[in-house]
Each structure stands twice: as C-alpha cells, then as structure tokens.
Amino acid sequence: MASGYADIKFEIRGKIGIIKFNRPKVLNSFGGNIIPETIDAFRVLNEHPDTIFTVLTGEGRFFSAGADVRGAADAGSQSGGYKNMGEKKLAFMEKFSYATELLRSMIDHKKVLVLALNGPGVGGGAAWFPGIADIILASNTAWLQCPFSALGLVPENGSALSFAQHIGIHRANDFLMFGRKLTAEECLEWGLYNRVFEKTGEDFQQEVIGFLEEQLQVNDGKSMMEMKRLQNAPIRDARMIAVVNAVDALAERMVEDAPKKRFELKKQELENKRKQRGSKI
C-alpha cells in the first residue's frame, strides 16, 4: 500500500478507500503535492482487490478552494518571456497537463467514486469533481461556486460537459457562465447531490462512512461496480475529449493574457473605490 503522502490522508476501512485532501490551512487549495498524490491514491485503490467505494473528501471546513487565483495572474504576467505565441501556448499546455491524468484517473476509476463534500468547493474545487463522481454526499455547509468568467478563465477540466450531463444545459450555464453560488439545498434540489447531511467536521465524515457501510450490508459490491461500468462506458470518450478541449481553451485564455487583464481591471476598481471613500472623509 502507498504511504508517505504529504498533502493527502489515505486509508482503507474494509471495503472503503478514503482519499482526504489535507491542506486545511490553505483551504485544501491545489498546491504542494496534492494533485500527484491524489492521482497515485486513485491508482492504488483502482487495483485494490477488496475495496468497492472510493471516497474523496477534505480535511477542515473547506472541501477545496481550488487553484490559487494569484497564480493565474502571475502566469499571465509572463507574456514578455516567450519568443512567440506558439512557444507561449505550448508552455501553458504543459503547465495544465496534469488535468488530463487527474480527470482520467477519476473517469476510468473502476470503484464507485463517492464525493464527500465536507464543506464548500470553489473554482476547481467545485468544477473538477462533482460532474465525475458517481455519488455525492454533502454537508449542509457544502456550497459550490465557479467564478471562472469573472477571472477571464473557462470552465475547467471538462466541467462544461459533465455539469450539463447532471443538471441540464441551462442550469449548468447559470452556474458556470455567471459564477452563481449554489447552496447545498439547491444542489440537492437540482439532482447534483444525492444526500445532504446536517452535520460537519468529523461527525459528517462518520455519517458518510456509516451510510456506505449500510449499503455494503444490503447490496453486492460487484453489482454496484458493474452498474457504474455500464452507465459510464458510453460517455467515457466524450468526457475525455471535453477535458482535452477545456485544457486547450484555458491555455488560449492565458496566451491572450485574459486573466491578467481581468485582475488589473479588478485592482483598478478597488483602487477607485478606495479613493472615493477617502474623498468623503
């Protein structure tokens, strides 16, 4: 069994494998080793002979705040360091190459993938996982928001398709285009969440494990895994193509310096508001 992870917690409880983001001081944002370690844990559980459920969750009050948006602004500021636009595009394609393997590891995962949203998800923390998960169990604190358009970005890692598959095109557009914040109750009403538990922290985590153990008592594990395989087989390639297209679109936005321009605009707006407040004193 893999061990020695720095930024995730990994354990197996009987037939349940648990991957837990473990950077709570930075709201489980995608820095450090969190992505390669998560990919490795998926690989381990994919081949584990006994597990049925793979649970992805987070430590602390957030599931994940996604990427550090300051990194996007910094990336856009590097435009002067490239010989030409072709070199710049390739640099960003390489920068985002992790997305293909992270999403593939979930799309092709043989076990039943349970997303246990212990708290809010923002940006990539909201977009990358709910559309791919087989079952979503959420705390009542688990709201979602994807402010991609406000930052000059695009719906990441195939989420434009995966959310449309779950909640319909118009609701997906409202969520992803306009950056609308969805409460846990709305996600349940829209059919994105399977269940919402009125618990947080360790109580929520125990509720999730207890619920899954109850399912294992009354349902055959292989049958549940076969259900997943039969459902996902016809849509697998479309989801992978959506990931590739999203990576390309995100790289193009970076080539255009769109995030940099959006950040500069927001910075100027804040500065103008500061000056206006100062003039009234």
Q: What is the pTM of this model?
A: 0.91
Choose among 253, 139, 107: nearest CA to 207: 139
Q: How many CB atoms lie within 10 A of CB 9?
A: 15
Q: What is the pLDDT of residue 1?
A: 47
Contact present, 60 and 27 (Cβ < 8 Å): yes
Tell whether domain 8-279 is in CATH 3.90.226.10. yes
Nearest CA among 179, 195, 197 for reference residue 187: 195
Walking along the chain (281 residues) 10 residues at a time, the average pLDDT comes out as 83 98 96 96 98 98 83 51 94 94 98 98 97 98 96 96 97 97 98 97 98 98 98 97 97 93 82 74 61
Give 58-81 as a DSSP string: ESSS-SB--S-HHHHHHHHTTGGG
d(CA 194, CA 50): 25
Q: What pLDDT is stored for residue 72 in this prediction?
A: 47
What is the pLDDT, as a whole number, of residue 55?
98
- Return the closest-CA partner of residue 187 out of 155, 146, 143: 143
Q: Measured at the alpha carbon of residue 178, what is the angle toward residues 172 and 184, in degrees to the nearest 5?
A: 60
